[in-house]
């Protein structure tokens, strides 16, 4: 056992060292001219202010939940479990928060360095942005791995638990991680889109000034938003995915203890370590030629990572489980991740029919643009769900063929691990997005020459794609990981089935589904409300300070940032509390079987709605970009105005509600596990 744990710890620590070296490399790059630095500092200031207030709020909420959890378990006389779970919860919450903060810390330093590098070459700019993204990605994945491993060892030593008992307790770690992730993603998502919608509507539509124009008072708030939503939020999201998957798979490993012994429990950790190595090599391999589409370079790195992950998976599976069938199920997971990426690209890239259809519908106005966007969003759920269904069924059947008891379920678990083995690479590409977006903003605002803008525009467009495909990947992995958490729930609740033909269980299923709708409504409404105050503020500044539009007076950026911070933090509380309260209510009133249906049908609905919102938003965004390239009349045409409306409508869908739903799905999975003793 100890050699395996040692291997995992060494890989995690080495990965953290690699992240440190990459950080030094990124920070060693120059920070461009003074004008650039001024803008970058404004972004940095706004981001720091938001994160400080956000994490103070989240820390308070986490302490409250930990105290409540402990109190409840104390009252029902389950003190040991209360202490262990509450501590694991706080540790998970802390790690998740730290991962988010580190991600943002590097991003707000890399944006200006990317901007400056783009004055020299595209390859250098791409590398700075990707490697800075990698810092965040590697830190997140290795901290999640290290956190679970450390808890696994420490809880055995400190509390005298057996190796089979620990996984049930360290579920608290996953709960802590998802709890923080929910608020980080929600708060960040509300912030970023309220600022974006506000800036776009008054700036582009009313005042007719371009995106990232320094005369727009909301422009800094918008650039800050990219960091707090995409970096901190998605980082916490995927931190949680990997943690939940590790823990869920370990619980299944406990069930399989008679077959594989400790190897079954430790397999997820070792497999994850292998994936981490594959991702780091993939990231370091990326180089782009000046004439080439940067997306090709990123894809090459991704495919290299996938191939290395497959090889690593083969070695780990044969060494630990000695069963080729489980290698095949892992392979299914890796293939599923590639398919999800392709499908997302098809639905959100302007090369393909869906985005084109939205752009064409813009010719007949705002309404037809939105109708087309909504129908693309609804349609795009079909292929991913069929893929997920095929992955589940085939890994289940192959797992059954392995001959191990519960082999089918373990097969689906290993498919999940396969899917998540490239997580660090995907996450690096994702964080690449906001960094290049910010770099583009800095270049635009510091009025660099056209040639340099072209470079950042190209990188920015690639960043939009990577952001979209990460969301596709995150939904897919959330779906698979959720099935793992269901299985763990069934084991823990000692249920033999979840029969939705029973009235209370069906009721639980209905409530799980409606929770997703209500949560989405609250998230979207929050953006609308916050954006509304931004719009009014920008209009006020334009009106009271006419010098702004002439470029003579500097707008009051800080005031817009401040309004956004306050409103978004206020608005994230209600949806967050709703999720926790609804779960507790269903568990207490309808009991464990109904809660299982609540969890499962809530997850299905959550995956569908997340796919719908992410891809509708992504496609409408790119339809606008397609028109801006000069199609259907180009910038300033009626079609363009309609497409801006579509982009704006898509914003809260794709960057607030959608990504928050990934987290919601996993939060449901961990919260039901942690609170289970209350409902038995």
Of 201-230, binders to its own copies (CB under 8 A) are 201, 205
204, 644 Cβ separation under 8 angstroms: yes
* Plot region of 286 (φ>0 → left; ψ -120 to 50 → alpha; else → beta): beta
Closer residue to its own copies (CB): 18 or 370: 370
Distance of closest approach, residue 420 Cβ to its own copies, in angstroms: 19
Give the angle subtended at the CA of 42 by the CAs of 219 and 560, to the nearest 5°: 45
Closer residue to its own copies (CB): 93 or 535: 535
- Structure tokens, 264: 């079954």
Closer residue to its own copies (CB): 260 or 396: 396
Closer residue to its own copies (CB): 25 or 532: 532
Contact positions with its own copies (CB under 8 A) in 484-503: 486-487, 490, 495, 497-503
- How many of the chain's residues bind its own copies (CB under 8 A)? 77
Give the angle subtended at the CA of 336 by the CAs of 331 and 341, to the nearest 5°: 135
CA proximity to 193, closest of 641, 659, 661: 659
Contact positions with its own copies (CB under 8 A) in 363-382: 364-368, 370-372, 374-379, 381-382
Residue with tokens 């008992």: 165
Contact positions with its own copies (CB under 8 A) in 582-611: 596-597, 600-601, 604-605, 607-608
Tell me, residue by residue from 392 to 421, as one string, x for binding to its own copies by CB under 8 A and - for no binding.
xx--x-----------xx--x---------
Contact positions with its own copies (CB under 8 A) in 627-656: 644-645, 648-649, 652-653
Contact positions with its own copies (CB under 8 A) in 165-194: none
Distance in angstroms (rounded) separating the CA atoms of residues 475 and 485 = 15
Closer residue to its own copies (CB): 117 or 600: 600
Closer residue to its own copies (CB): 100 or 479: 479
Closer residue to its own copies (CB): 66 or 361: 361
Helices (H), 202-261: 219-225, 234-255, 257-260
Q: At what angle do helices 262-284 and 423-445 cross, to 10 degrees?
A: 30
234, 470 Cβ separation under 8 angstroms: yes
Closer residue to its own copies (CB): 57 or 375: 375
Q: Is 510 a residue that touches its own copies (CB under 8 A)?
A: yes
Question: Which residue from 223, 255, 524, 673 is in contact with its own copies, where contact means CB under 8 A?
Answer: 524
Q: DSSP characters for 574-624?
A: HHHHHHHHHHHHHHHHHHHHHHHHHHHHHHHHHHHHHHHHHHHHHHHHHHH
Distance of closest approach, residue 377 Cβ to its own copies, in angstroms: 8
Question: Which residue from 289, 517, 566, 588 is in contact with its own copies, where contact means CB under 8 A?
Answer: 517
Kindly state the DSSP code that residue 292 receives in the 8-state scheme: S
Closer residue to its own copies (CB): 19 or 564: 564
Residue with tokens 């990231």: 283
- Structure tokens, 25: 């490399």
Distance of closest approach, residue 310 Cβ to its own copies, in angstroms: 24
Q: Is 12 a residue that touches its own copies (CB under 8 A)?
A: no
431, 470 Cβ separation under 8 angstroms: no
Distance in angstroms (rounded) separating the CA atoms of residues 666 and 480 = 10
Helix (H) or strand (E) run with residue 217 in it: none
Torsion, Cα 522 481 174 322, to 10 degrees, reads: 180
Distance of closest approach, residue 313 Cβ to its own copies, in angstroms: 21
Greatest alpha-carbon pair distance for the chain in Å reads 76
CA proximity to 565, closest of 229, 241, 247, 268: 229
Stretch that binds its own copies, among 92-100, 157-165, 284-292, 516-524 (CB under 8 A): 516-524
Distance of closest approach, residue 33 Cβ to its own copies, in angstroms: 36
Closer residue to its own copies (CB): 412 or 465: 412
Contact positions with its own copies (CB under 8 A) in 325-364: 361, 364
Q: Is 85 a residue that touches its own copies (CB under 8 A)?
A: no
Distance of closest approach, residue 618 Cβ to its own copies, in angstroms: 16
Q: Is 528 a residue that touches its own copies (CB under 8 A)?
A: yes
């Amino acid at each position: 056992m100890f050699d395996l744990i040692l291997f995992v710890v060494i890989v995690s620590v080495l990965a953290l060292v690699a992240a440190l070296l990459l950080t030094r490399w990124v920070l060693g790059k120059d920070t461009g001219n003074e004008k650039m630095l001024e803008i970058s500092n404004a972004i940095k200031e706004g981001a720091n202010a938001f994160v400080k207030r956000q994490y103070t709020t989240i820390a308070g909420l986490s302490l409250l939940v930990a105290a409540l959890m402990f109190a409840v378990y104390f009252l029902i006389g389950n003190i040991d479990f209360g202490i262990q779970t509450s501590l694991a919860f706080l540790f998970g919450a802390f790690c998740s928060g730290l991962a988010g903060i580190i991600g943002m810390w590097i991003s707000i330093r890399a944006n200006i360095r990317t901007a400056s590098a783009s004055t020299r070459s595209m390859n250098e700019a791409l590398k700075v942005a990707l490697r800075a993204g990698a810092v965040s990605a590697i830190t997140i994945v290795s901290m999640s791995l290290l956190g679970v491993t450390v808890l696994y060892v420490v809880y055995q030593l400190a509390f005298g638990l057996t190796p089979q008992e620990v996984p049930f307790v360290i579920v608290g770690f996953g709960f802590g991680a998802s709890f923080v992730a929910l608020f980080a993603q929600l708060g960040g998502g509300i912030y970023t889109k309220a600022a974006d919608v506000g800036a776009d509507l008054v700036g582009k539509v009313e005042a007719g000034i371009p995106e990232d124009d320094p005369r727009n008072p909301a422009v800094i708030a918008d650039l800050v938003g990219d960091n707090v939503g995409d970096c901190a939020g998605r980082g916490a999201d995927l931190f949680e995915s990997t943690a939940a998957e590790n823990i869920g798979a370990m619980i299944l490993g406990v069930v399989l203890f008679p077959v594989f012994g400790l190897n079954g429990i430790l397999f997820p950790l070792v497999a994850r370590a292998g994936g981490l190595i594959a991702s780091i090599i993939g990231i370091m391999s990326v180089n782009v030629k000046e004439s080439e589409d940067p997306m090709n370079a990123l894809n090459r790195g991704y495919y290299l990572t996938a191939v290395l992950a497959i090889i690593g998976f083969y070695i780990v599976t044969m060494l630990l489980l000695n069963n080729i069938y489980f290698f095949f199920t892992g392979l299914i997971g890796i293939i599923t991740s590639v398919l999800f990426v392709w499908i997302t690209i098809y639905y959100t890239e302007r090369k393909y029919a869906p985005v084109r259809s939205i752009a064409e519908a813009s010719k007949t106005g705002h309404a037809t643009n939105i109708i087309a966007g909504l129908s693309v969003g609804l349609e795009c759920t079909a292929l991913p769900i069929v893929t997920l269904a095929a992955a589940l069924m085939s890994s289940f059947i192959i797992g059954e063929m392995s001959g191990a008891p519960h082999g089918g379920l373990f097969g689906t678990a290993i498919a999940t691990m396969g899917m998540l083995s490239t997580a660090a690479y995907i996450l690096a590409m994702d964080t690449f997005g906001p960094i290049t977006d910010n770099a583009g903003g800095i270049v635009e605002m510091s009025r660099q020459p056209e040639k340099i803008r072209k470079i950042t525009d190209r990188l920015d467009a690639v960043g939009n794609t990577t952001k979209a495909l990460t969301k596709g990947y995150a939904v897919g992995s959330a779906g698979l990981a959720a099935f793992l958490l269901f299985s763990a729930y069934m084991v823990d609740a000692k249920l033999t089935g979840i029969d939705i033909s029973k009235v209370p269980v069906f009721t639980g299923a209905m409530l799980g589904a409606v929770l997703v709708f209500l949560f989405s409504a609250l998230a979207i409404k929050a953006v609308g409300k916050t954006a509304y105050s931004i719009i009014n503020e920008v209009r006020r500044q334009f009106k009271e300070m006419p010098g702004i539009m002439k470029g003579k007076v500097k707008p009051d950026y800080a005031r817009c940032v401040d309004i956004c911070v306050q409103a978004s933090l206020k608005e994230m509380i209600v949806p967050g509390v709703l999720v926790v309260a609804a779960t507790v209510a269903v568990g207490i009133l309808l009991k464990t079987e109904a809660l299982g249906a609540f969890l499962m049908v809530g997850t299905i609905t959550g995956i569908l709605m997340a796919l719908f919102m992410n891809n509708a938003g992504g496609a409408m965004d790119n339809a606008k970009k397609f028109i801006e390239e000069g199609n259907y009349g180009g910038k300033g045409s009626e079609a363009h105005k309609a497409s801006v409306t579509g982009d704006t409508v898509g914003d809260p869908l794709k960057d607030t509600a959608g990504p928050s739903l990934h987290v919601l799905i996993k939060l449901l999975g961990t919260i039901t596990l942690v609170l289970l003793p209350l409902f038995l």
